[in-house]
Structure 1
Amino acid sequence: MELGTSATQGGAPYEDAAALAQEFVQFCVEAGALRFGEFKTKAGRMSPYFFNAGMFDDGAKLGRLAQFYAKALLASGIEFDMIFGPAYKGIPLGVAVSIELARLGRNVPFAYNRKEAKDHGEGGTLVGAPLKGRVLIIDDVISAGTAARESIALIRAAGAVPHAIAISLDRQEKATEVGADGQVRDVDHSAIQYVKRELGMQVCTIATLDDLLHYLSHRTSGEQDAHLERVKVYRQRYGVS
């Protein structure tokens, strides 16, 4: 099965993107990967929600997560020749997604990197299939784009093309950058927009912050209403269009 074709699982067509996103948000809440409260982000912001892919911590959860990635990729029409999982979270994600795609009839090579170079055996920082052709990077989220740039540099150094990135959640918020004076400032684009516009790569996301807001808006409890209002305020302050 080639990406971009009409994909089915168990004889039924894949859900549309909106339905898939709502199912994914529900799954994340049930798995404890998406929590509400008060959390400090890497940018120093106090966020009313927190997404932690590390909570997909057993075979059933990871397998289902891979199904969401595979469905989103098949629906996106993005073409690629192999998968790359950046250390560390991207490694199990990339493995799981490659297994799920193979199960669906789309078998592609897979590789990942080590944080520290190995000085014995085969050596180096890259493990798995040789990097070549159009490479799809699998990760959980992109916050500042730093990890993405590191993966892109590794892929290009190997002579391959960093073609696309697949992530689970797009926070749709302003990225930050350090100015010449050393101060951290918000910029008018998100990390995802930077990857698309400046790096020229395609991006596949399972769900976005807008999808999360839609999910909360259809819950009727007082607690969920409070979460919804806090996320709305956060979106208004830090969100990008």
Structure 2
Amino acid sequence: MSDSHNRADFVRFSLEQGVLRFGSFKVKSGRISPYFFNAGLFNTGSTVGRLAQFYAQALVDSGLEFDMLFGPAYKGIPLSTATAVALAGHPGLKGRDVPFSFNRKEAKDHGEGGTLVGAPLHGRVVIIDDVITAGTSVRESVEIIRQAGAEPAAVLIALDRMERAGADDALSPHSAVQEVASRYDMPVISIASLDDIMSVLRDDAGLAEHRDAVAAYRGRYGV
């Protein structure tokens, strides 16, 4: 499957599952967005399994060299687990078994203790999450990985909104994804982006009514 097919198929899958919706939505920033994406609505075995296949394909398509996955609590825990399973069955990895680990929010004071669960952090580590907003989760993950003596290699997310932050009269020069890529000098790989959503809108007559609103939003806040 080509990269472009994977991206468009993911947008359509998100629409089918109600994870991506068009309309008028007040988002955390206070903006009124013409679309809304909530990866938490991938909440059944089959949909999370399919989501993990999209993550695995995006990572393989990137050509990135990596040794393991890390999922920041809480959303990254099922994402890293499921994606490691999908990678184990991916023909591009030729049977390679990819380890994964994740953190707890609170340190465990009994048993083995500590905040990390899973494989020991080593080598080039891909951080996997749903989206990047403030970048807090990435910062904490980078610190954990470096403290373990490993190297943060990339962030893998479901959707890049390609959107500037800040008030309308003081927009940031870069998107949250661009800020993270620059600050930590590592790529951010997304299964799909706002550009891919717009491509699907252009190609699907049934979604034509939403094209102008999304294009206007992209023009106002996009990078």
Q: What band does the TM-score fall into relative to the shorter chain? A: over 0.9
Aligned residue for 2:6?
20
Alignment-mate amino acid for residue 86 of structure 2:
E
Asked if the contact 1:86/1:138 (under 8 Å) is kept, the reply is yes
SS of corresponding position for 1:70: helix
Q: Quote the residue 1:205 is aligned against.
A: 190
Q: Does 1:32 find its partner at 2:15? A: no
Task: Find the aligned partners of 1:146 and 1:175 in 2 and give their Cα distance.
Answer: 14
Specify the alignment match of 2:136 in structure 1.
146
Aligned match for 1:80, one of 32, 41, 66: 66
Match of 2:212 among 218, 226, 229: 229
Matched to 1:140, the amino acid is D
Alignment of 1:87-98 (within 5 A): 87-98=73-84
Query: Secondary structure of 1:25's match?
Result: helix
> How many Å apart are 1:175 and its aligned residue?
3.0
Q: Indicate the residue corresponding to 2:44 in structure 1.
A: 58
Shift of 1:106: 2.7
- Deviations, residues 97-146 of structure 1 (Å, cap 9, x unaligned): 00011122231111001111112111121111111111101111111212
Shift of 1:42: 2.4
State the alpha-carbon separation in 1 of the partners of residues 174 and 217 from structure 2. 16
TM superposition shift of 1:226 = 2.7
Asked if 1:175 corresponds to 2:171, the answer is no
The AA in structure 1 aligned to 2:28 is: K
1:149-200 Cα distance to aligned partner (Å, 9 max, x none) = 11111111222111111111110011349xxxxxx95311011111222210
Query: Which consecutive unaligned segments of at least 5 residues does structure 1 have?
Result: 1-14, 178-183
Match of 1:217 in 2: 202
TM-score, normalization: structure 2? Answer: 0.93
Q: Tell me which amino acid in the other structure corresponds to 2:221.
A: Y
1:133 aligns with 2:116: no
Q: Residue 144 of structure 1 contacts residue 176 of structure 1 at CA under 8 Å; is this kept in 2? A: no
**Residue 87 (structure 1) shift:** 0.8
CA distance, structure 2, for counterparts of residue 19 and residue 75 of structure 1? 11
Q: CA RMSD in A?
A: 1.6
For these two proteins, the number of residue pairs brought into alignment is 218
* 1:38, distance to aligned residue in structure 2 (A): 1.9
- Once residues 210 and 147 of structure 2 are traced to their aligned partners in structure 1, the CA distance between those partners, rounded to angstroms, is 44
More strand as a share of residues: 1
